[in-house]
Structure 1
Amino acid sequence: MRFTDGMWHLKEGVRIEWMSNVERLRIEQETVDLLLNKVQRHRGDTLNSPTISAKVTSPSEGIIGVKLVHWAGEIDNGPHYDISSSTGHASVVHDKETNKLTYTSGPLNLAITTSPNELAFTFQDSSSKKLTGHSWRSIGYVADQRSPIYTHDDGMYATKQGYMLSELDLSVSEKIYGLGERFGPLVKNGQTVDIWNEDGGTSSELAYKNIPFYMSSRGYGVFVNHPGKVSLEVQSERTTRVNISVPGEEIEYFVVYGPTPKDVLRRYTALTGQPGLVPTWSYNLWLTTSFTTNYDEETVSGFLDGFEERGIPLGVFHFDCFWMKSYQWCDFKFDEEMFPDAGGYLARLKERGLKISVWINPYVGQASPLFEEGKAKGFFIKRVDGSVWQWDLWQAGMAVVDFTNPAACDWYSSHLKRLMDMGVDSFKTDFAERIPVKGVKYHDNSSPERMHNYYALLYNRIVYNTLSEKAGPTQGLLFARSTAPGGQKYPVHWGGDCESTFEAMAESLRGGLSLSLSGYIFWASDIGGFEGTPPPALYKRWVQFGLLSTHSRLHGSSSFRVPWIYGEDCSAVLRECVKRKILLTPYILQEALRGHRDGTPLMRAMFLEFPEDLNTYAVDTQYMFGPNLLVAPVFDKEEVTFYVPRSDDDRAGKWISWFDHNKTYEPGQWYTETHGFETLPLLIRPASVTVVNPELKVPEGDALSGIQLLVNGTLRRETTVEIVNPGQTDEVLKMLRVSPADGKVQCEGHSVEIVYVG
């Protein structure tokens, strides 16, 4: 939100009280409390003006938090994000002679100038390099009379909308990333971003997955710990700052130090929640019924027969909306007219070796048999007069389940368990963005405005926990569209409603990379695009991209996504791409486990893997799949341009093509190539060891039989490969150590084939 007209003027109706002075401070163990006020010329300046209380803390090593409060009298009914916190790693020194307070947490320092009228906060690394901070006029309280709550006739008692404003400095050439799944440019500089979940599709500034966390190319990140609407002007209002504002009387942010981008993610996910793991079968190809298509048991069986006849491995079948009767979403019952023997049919699908997923949402239409029960028992969000909040968007007379009510959670969970007893393995947790904020009341009296984004977290949590309780640890799996900070604990998330165009395929990648820079390690897109029917060329190119994503699902709106509809050549492309992904299962499992430990995503923006190469910071049309594989999707029928990064391993060899090991690439160069539909730029990193298994027929097959290690170039250090248990994805079965001297593999009782590819 913008409050200014240039450097010197405020917008009409806006007043900002800037903090410029430390009036007093108190140090108590690892906490610093400061009282901030405006410029103080004489004692009279303490009258008729606000103060802001600042509290400095450190929840963990390398992270420093600042909480700014104007009025402390607000009622706080929550909700609040879960923050992991400990003590014993911070120290405070106040030098009264130099008027400087230094707060240190591991390698991160915060220097606060306490000289009269010279307030400044400077975050530095251990070498005293400035990361960010507050300089002149950057902490303030905004009183805005451009609001319905303001009435001029109230005179001096007129209520103005208040905002807390925190402006953090940017350095020359500094770039900002993240802020959730955003489909515009990967680099966020120059953008206005509102952290407010909306169902806007992938071709707009709106986003399903809003995360108030950004990462800087300067080696730090910032997490705004506020579940309500957070507005960021990223070098768009002040060209030297990120301006952060929230409505209300307080704001809290945490500066998360690196120094590398991976270190920032490691610390951020330790703060907000370690990413969850998923079952190995989820890496299979998923096929859905699509959204508004007509289908029954005969239709579905015909699709499955078609995959078998063409030798295309398929692991998961998903029933989208119309598995339930129209107007009754959700009643959690198969439409008996289309599926007269649903239990028997699911059993027959299981006999084919398939896992089953079904679509759900957190809403109950008035025609649903569950509506009256939910109304009678108080399971829905209510209006302030006690009636059920309803509207006709999406489902007629739709109510919203109130997940702050424990009884409602148990009720909702019981229907999921009933479906799991029938054979359902996973749920697509759709929607949860259109959550009302005005004139509503929650069971636990949570703030409706703060619940708008947070609601998605509650929704996914109850479904994920229900699945995990029944299936076991690491075996729970969602396909979720919306989320909030901490949602990385409840995977997987997909990119929402995209069009069937090359442009939408590219924006989907940007969205996935932005989410991966926000603490999420898994992501998928609707292969072929959701809206419209893809031409064959687009279908094949999206198949290549989608099968080099962590999760791969064929899904559309009004048309099916089975490949032969688009031509048998599409079937051939899909078959080869699925088999390649299955071959990569040991590599995917290894990198997922590492991501679970340290927050590093499998699909990585180039600079995340190569922060030393400045050319990578603006690249958003390619990515690294794990540390070893460069993927450049072809956003065209044939031609693609991509960049091969530099690294410390350049002297150990060259990048090589996955498809032709005689084809090499020089680091630090751009390439433009023409590719048929059998290939794309898929490059293997020099000095790397990539674990694969060509013998696998399904991802969840024997983890130890048939392992190969693909070695490219000369190894510069001992490389460790972890063979992860496909039945329990947090368990390592074998540790393989490859020596840089002789290339030998050290592993007791197990032989491994080494394949030198470069």
Structure 2
Amino acid sequence: MNFMTFKVQENKEGFLIEYNSRNLLTHTFSKPAFYVGYGEAEIEMYRGNFKIQDYKISRVPLKHFNIKKDSEKVYIDLYSNDGYSLSLCVKEMEDRLYIEFERSTGTINRYWIRIDADEDEKVYGCGEQMSYFNLRGRNFPLWTSEPGVGRDKSTYITWMADVMGKAGGDYYNTNYPQPTFVSTRKYYCHLESSAYMDFNFKNKYYHELEVWSIPKYIMFETAETFIELVSKISSFFGRQPLLPEWVYNGLILGVQGGTDRALEKMNKALEKGVKLSGLWCQDWQGRKITSFGKRLFWNWKWNPQMYPELDKKIWELKDKGIRFLGYINPYLIKEGDLYKEAYEKGYLATKLNGEDYLVDFGEFYCGIVDFTNPEAFEWYKGVIKKNLIEFGLDGWMADFGEYLPTDCKLYNGVSAEIMHNVWPTIWARCNYEALKETGKLGEILFFMRAGFTGVQRYCTLLWAGDQSVDFSIHDGLVSVIPGALSSGMMGNGLHHSDIGGYTSLFGLKRTKELFLRWAEMAAFTPVMRTHEGNRPDENFQVYDDDGALEHLALMTSVYVKLSPYLKDLVKQNTEEGIPVQRPLFMHYEDDKNTYDIQYQYMYGKDILVAPVYKEGVSRWSVYLPQDEWIHMPTGQEFRGGYVEVDVPFGKPAVFYRRSSEYRDLFEEVTKLFKEMVKDDYGS
């Protein structure tokens, strides 16, 4: 029987749910689509890294079913011979198909749902995934956490991080998971829950979604093109606002160490021709030294001893067209006065027995502001308004959000295990509302690494997190590309990374070559920003090398020259939800080769970027879809297929479409490359 555009077809073996001519779910007695069970989990957190073990006591197929229909809905009761049951309601609403989970019986806290798959189908999304863009062939636990150091169990760096601090991570660890995936069958699927989940894409003929609490619903939406599909995704979850105009003036320079040092490094960069839009000093509120490196004093207000006269310098910088940015996160160091105030007001999460709860962040301890308490949420929003916005900051890193432990007690009475994943979205909303309520939305920029469902409507800019300072596939320069592409498919179209990476441990040190290659890529992202890293004194810093500053001057000049194009892309992201960085197949759907390319991307529809992600190379292989292409640094023309180009420093593998309406602008960029490129950048 037809109900608008979906069908629930019953037969002798079972039933089929179809939507817009796509078979989504097939349930038979021999191959059920629904399982329920019971498990007992052990969740251990150590400095944002989680060890999760589940002892599954039962897993029962719900083979039997009864179906009832009315004019708009289909009700399905599923049950087993031994008393387990689950009720579903299938309906269409706002051109989306919903399968709602209404109730279950028995001792059940584990659910498995199988979605139909094709053998040659590809799948993308699940939040921000740094190792793999096409998710087929692997399973992806969805739990916000530190992503880990190295993220590759076969490497020395990851092994050492595991041994020394349980912090090595794996391919699936991410700051920003989301229970949503996009299929090449041109639908997306979203599972509405904040519990621990594991999406398994290993089977040829189905995707199995596991969730540790009864979900509210599974939702599907379809489209005829990927552009339309991603636009629908962002329409559902929310869209990011426009970037502030000042961002397009150039690089946000990351410097630490106090007022004099920051201004000295800034002036040196300006003297070398580096285009600057901002000066970012993450230690504006003070510093704490640990064995990990230079950390911050987590008490969110200006530290006049470390940054004397900053209250005046901020406004002087504004007059010069340079904005000052700082840092904040949702935790408070015990030694700070903000912790004392929050503690006295009862605004901190506690242990289950009501005792004080302090989280180990690496040789210092902090309280958790309980955002489920409306008064605490408003108080912390007030901290942002007074100590950051009123002070004059034009932006900040809104860090962390992943560290909510599962054994704390929250004001709203909901288990912290259920609240853990949604915590980054609540943290994003706190920052967003502070901007909106002060009239600063669109003028001030905050950037986050953590996320979950719904973060799209609140986060003004994603940042890729703490990459290692190397060329490694899973945690180095190139890992930010699948991160940008996967999160872009989820509706987060504004993404960027720390130029040069951040994490330097176990002998790993940033090189000049890494920095130059990273800067070449960053010029073709929405925002350019540097970071000194966790151990600044041991790593290459751009302001210590004239050749690197000249290279950075080139790449920031390219970024600024392309700003009219970038502004149009950002506007499209805000209005239509189409990301700035896009997979090749989004514009070349008929080209089968584009669906497994994860280390190149389209920068809008007219520029193709293929970053150099290996060290010591001078030639680079690029795949160009069938079109007429021009190599932006040289003006050389190419057609589709695999091509090789010379890639000395200052001549990245970036191409534009010959027929682009922006061709005049792109030709100006080519002239800029030819005027500014020098042969000694890499010396």
Give the TM-score normalised by structure 1. Answer: 0.72
Q: Does residue 239 of structure 2 align to residue 267 of structure 1?
A: no
Question: d(CA) in 2 for partners of 1:585 and 1:202?
Answer: 34
> Where does residue 343 of structure 2 map in the other structure?
375
> Where does residue 464 of structure 2 map in the other structure?
495
Question: d(CA) in 2 for partners of 1:283 and 1:182?
Answer: 27
Q: Does residue 277 of structure 2 align to residue 301 of structure 1?
A: no
Is contact 1:203–1:507 with CA below 8 Å preserved after alignment? no
The secondary structure found in structure 2 opposite 1:212 is: strand
Is contact 1:359–1:428 with CA below 8 Å preserved after alignment? yes
> Where does residue 638 of structure 2 map in the other structure?
665
Q: Does residue 370 of structure 2 align to residue 393 of structure 1?
A: no
Identity of aligned residues (%): 22
Question: d(CA) in 2 for partners of 1:198 and 1:543?
Answer: 27
Is contact 2:175–2:465 with CA below 8 Å preserved after alignment? yes
Question: Which of 461, 467, 477 matches 2:429?
Answer: 461
**How far 1:320 sits from its partner (Å)?**
1.1
Question: d(CA) in 1 for partners of 2:569 and 2:330?
Answer: 32
Q: Does residue 275 of structure 2 align to residue 313 of structure 1?
A: yes
**How far 1:424 sits from its partner (Å)?**
0.5
The secondary structure found in structure 2 opposite 1:17 is: strand
Q: What does 1:598-747 correspond to in 2, within 5 Å?
A: 598-636=576-614, 637=616, 638-646=618-626, 650=627, 654-661=628-635, 663-667=636-640, 669-690=641-662
> Where does residue 550 of structure 1 map in the other structure?
526
CA pair 416-258 structure 1, distance change in 2 beyond 3 A: same
Q: Does residue 158 of structure 2 align to residue 184 of structure 1?
A: no
Question: d(CA) in 2 for partners of 1:405 and 1:251?
Answer: 23
**How far 1:25 sits from its partner (Å)?**
1.1
C-alpha distance after superposition, 1:105-135 (max 9, x if no partner)? xxxxxxxxxxxxxxxxxxxxxxxxxxxxxxx
378-387 or 602-611, which moves further after superposition?
Answer: 378-387
Question: d(CA) in 2 for partners of 1:31 and 1:388?
Answer: 49
Question: d(CA) in 2 for partners of 1:469 and 1:563?
Answer: 38
334-343 or 496-505, which moves further after superposition?
Answer: 334-343
Question: Which of 186, 197, 203 matches 1:230?
Answer: 197
CA pair 692-354 structure 1, distance change in 2 beyond 3 A: farther
> Where does residue 41 of structure 1 map in the other structure?
none
**How far 1:191 sits from its partner (Å)?**
1.4
Is contact 2:193–2:213 with CA below 8 Å preserved after alignment? no
Is contact 2:284–2:326 with CA below 8 Å preserved after alignment? no
> Where does residue 597 of structure 1 map in the other structure?
575
Is contact 1:658–1:682 with CA below 8 Å preserved after alignment? yes
**How far 1:564 sits from its partner (Å)?**
4.6
CA pair 258-297 structure 1, distance change in 2 beyond 3 A: same
**How far 1:32 sits from its partner (Å)?**
2.5
Aligned residues: 582
Question: Which of 50, 63, 68 matches 1:20?
Answer: 63
Q: Does residue 217 of structure 2 align to residue 243 of structure 1?
A: no
Question: Which of 479, 486, 489 matches 1:514?
Answer: 486
**How far 1:289 sits from its partner (Å)?**
4.3
The secondary structure found in structure 1 opposite 2:574 is: helix
CA pair 13-227 structure 1, distance change in 2 beyond 3 A: closer
Q: What does 1:31-46 correspond to in 2, within 5 Å?
A: 31-38=73-80
Opposite residue 549 of structure 1, the aligned amino acid is T
Opposite residue 657 of structure 1, the aligned amino acid is H
Is contact 2:359–2:365 with CA below 8 Å preserved after alignment? yes
**How far 1:557 sits from its partner (Å)?**
2.1
The secondary structure found in structure 2 opposite 1:215 is: strand
C-alpha distance after superposition, 1:579-625 (max 9, x if no partner)? 11111111111111111222210001111221111110011111000
Opposite residue 306 of structure 2, the aligned amino acid is M
Q: What does 1:46-125 correspond to in 2, within 5 Å?
A: 48-61=82-95, 63-71=96-104
Is contact 2:251–2:556 with CA below 8 Å preserved after alignment? no
Q: Does residue 164 of structure 2 align to residue 218 of structure 1?
A: no
> Where does residue 539 of structure 1 map in the other structure?
515
> Where does residue 479 of structure 1 map in the other structure?
447
**How far 1:14 sits from its partner (Å)?**
4.8
C-alpha distance after superposition, 1:59-108 (max 9, x if no partner)? 321x2111234527xxxxxxxxxxxxxxxxxxxxxxxxxxxxxxxxxxxx
Question: d(CA) in 1 for partners of 2:483 and 2:55?
Answer: 36
**How far 1:562 sits from its partner (Å)?**
8.5
> Where does residue 220 of structure 2 map in the other structure?
255
Between structure 1 and structure 2, the one with the greater Rg is: 1
**How far 1:57 sits from its partner (Å)?**
2.5
**How far 1:486 sits from its partner (Å)?**
1.6
Q: Unpaired segments of 5 or more residues in structure 1?
A: 1-6, 39-44, 73-142, 144-158, 695-706, 711-758
Root-mean-square deviation (Å): 2.7
Is contact 1:325–1:335 with CA below 8 Å preserved after alignment? no
C-alpha distance after superposition, 1:459-495 (max 9, x if no partner)? 1111122123324443342110101112122220111
The secondary structure found in structure 1 opposite 2:379 is: helix
**How far 1:395 sits from its partner (Å)?**
6.3
**How far 1:19 sits from its partner (Å)?**
2.8
The secondary structure found in structure 1 opposite 2:414 is: coil
C-alpha distance after superposition, 1:153-193 (max 9, x if no partner)? xxxxxx6x631110112102111111111111211111121
Is contact 1:426–1:467 with CA below 8 Å preserved after alignment? no
The secondary structure found in structure 1 opposite 2:353 is: coil
Question: d(CA) in 1 for partners of 2:280 and 2:632?
Answer: 31
Question: d(CA) in 2 for partners of 1:543 and 1:273?
Answer: 30
Q: What does 1:375-454 correspond to in 2, within 5 Å?
A: 375-394=343-362, 396-418=364-386, 419-438=388-407, 440-454=408-422
Is contact 2:620–2:644 with CA below 8 Å preserved after alignment? yes
Opposite residue 170 of structure 1, the aligned amino acid is A
Q: What does 1:323-338 correspond to in 2, within 5 Å?
A: 323-326=285-288, 329-338=297-306
CA pair 248-415 structure 1, distance change in 2 beyond 3 A: closer
Opposite residue 390 of structure 2, the aligned amino acid is D
Opposite residue 143 of structure 2, the aligned amino acid is W
Is contact 1:202–1:508 with CA below 8 Å preserved after alignment? no
CA pair 395-459 structure 1, distance change in 2 beyond 3 A: farther
